[in-house]
Structure 1
Amino acid sequence: MRVFVFSILSVCLLVSSLGAGCAERAENSGQTGRTDILPYRLAAGDQIRIMVYNEPGMSMTLMVSQGGSVSFPFIGKVRLAGRTLTQIEENIEQRLKGDYLRDPMVSVTIEHYRQFYITGEVESPNGYEYQPDLTIEQAIALAGGLTDRADEDDIQIRHPGRQLLKDIPATYPVYPGDTIIIGKSFF
């Protein structure tokens, strides 16, 4: 009987610790499901939707311009570039509160992400809309796959404004604005 009770307690503790670990990983991973990615920050080329609840005249879809700011009703200029969706929501809510609305509720969502680019030995080199949790392998699939002349071991990537990284594995994450270069095989 003691062995049976001990076994049940052991299983309960194991399940409890696994559940806590899963919950902790989910909490740390944010919206993307990956712990290695920082929160998504907007930049030129992203299209967002700002909704102010019960205020249809203040809800709109906007493209983040090169300047990175937009003019919003009643509050004027709102900086979007370099900010997370949560930061934008909080900023608009804070600026609308009091003078214009009693308790504004603002929601900001991404309608379309800015593009990443893939060139070299893929079937359809081009710019493609970024997707959360995208890897180089998935980007190659979006571009129609590798050509017969592609060198699978010669993958390079350049993050915007950074140095070219060489010999990147296919599981490497892709971010908006990245340029992926697939090299050509000599054989």
Structure 2
Amino acid sequence: MKIIKLCALLVLSFVFAGCNSSPPALQDVPETTSRGYSLGAGDTVSIVVYGEPEMTMHFIIDKSGAINFPYIGPLVLKGKTPEQVSDELTTRLRGEYLSKPMVTVSIVAFRKFYISGEVKNPNGYAYEPGLTVGRAIALAGGFTDRADRSDISIQRAGEGELPGSVGSGYAVHPGDIVTIGMGFF
């Protein structure tokens, strides 16, 4: 009899604990630096080859994700980190063209993310490392009077819409579309 009462109390405690909490908003950790950032169409990069001014230049990565680099030809940047591109350029320039090339690849401007719906200035904005939904809303001028602050969704670049609502601390990545729903009065 004691075991049955104990089991009943345990079941009731789980039921009541579940009733008092609402489902949590989805979470994702924002990137705080460009380290590990994968390059893509729309990013602007600077390539510096130390001591070789004719090889130092800026590129805006187009849809193909490739650039045409002097002495090397086509070089794919899309999907690679700046460090990987730097290593590849160093390897490909070593020997035939330069004995000890020193190459630095850095991001000059990130590609855009987009925010639509019930914000004051829906538009595309340049991505910044550490960007969250809350900061994206602030960049867009804040919520309108009709915004449903609990109806925020993100469509990841190249993916479908995430289920459920996301919180203000949720990470926004380049190419994402943040949508703020309309509340009904």
- TM-score by structure 1 length? 0.80
- Spell out the pairing of 1:35-50 with structure 2 (5 A cutoff): 39-50=36-47
Task: Tell which deviates more after alignment, 161-170 or 104-113.
Answer: 161-170
Shift, 1:127, TM fit: 0.2
Secondary structure of the residue aligned to 2:142 is coil
Matches within 5 A, 1:109-148: 109-148=106-145
Q: What is the RMSD of the two structures over their aligned residues, measured on CA atoms?
A: 1.4
SS of the residue aligned with 1:54?
A: coil
Structure 2 gaps of 5+ residues are: 1-30
Supply the distance in 2 between the matched residues of 1:150 and 1:38 (Cα, whole angstroms): 35
- Show the counterpart of 1:92: 89
Partner residue of 2:75? Answer: 78
Which of 157, 165, 168 aligns to 1:167? It is: 165
Cα offsets for 1:16-48 (capped at 9, x unmatched): xxxxxxxxxxxxxxx835xxx982101100000
**Greater relative contact order structure (CA < 8 Å, 6+ sep):** 2
Q: Which residue of 2 aligns with 1:52?
A: 49
The one-character-per-residue Cα deviations of 1:41-87 (angstroms, maximum 9, x if unpaired) are: 01100000000001111000000011111111111111100100010
Corresponding residue for residue 66 of structure 2: 69
Secondary structure of 1:67's aligned partner: coil
Q: CA 1:109 to 1:60, structure 2 compared with 1: closer, same or farther past 3 Å?
A: same
CA offset digits 1:113-154 (Å, max 9, x no partner): 000000000000000000001000000000000001111100
Secondary structure of the residue aligned to 1:70 is: strand
Q: Which amino acid is the alignment partner of residue 176 of structure 2?
A: D
The DSSP-based 3-state class of the residue aligned with 2:83 is helix
CA distance in structure 1 between the partners assigned to 2:32 and 2:159 by the alignment: 23
Q: Give the aligned partner of residue 176 of structure 2.
A: 178
Give, in whole Å, the separation in 2 of the partners of 1:103 and 1:32: 32
- TM-score, length of structure 2 as denominator length: 0.81
**Aligned pairs, how many?**
154
Aligned to 2:39, what secondary structure does the other structure show? Answer: coil
What CA distance in whole angstroms lies between the structure 2 residues aligned with 1:32 and 1:180? 19
Residue number among 89, 99, 102 corresponding to 1:105 in the alignment: 102
Q: Aligned partner of 2:106: which letter?
A: T
Helix, strand or coil: the match of 2:181? strand
Unaligned runs of 5+ in 1: 1-30
Q: Distance in 1 between the 2:67 and 2:106 partners?
A: 15
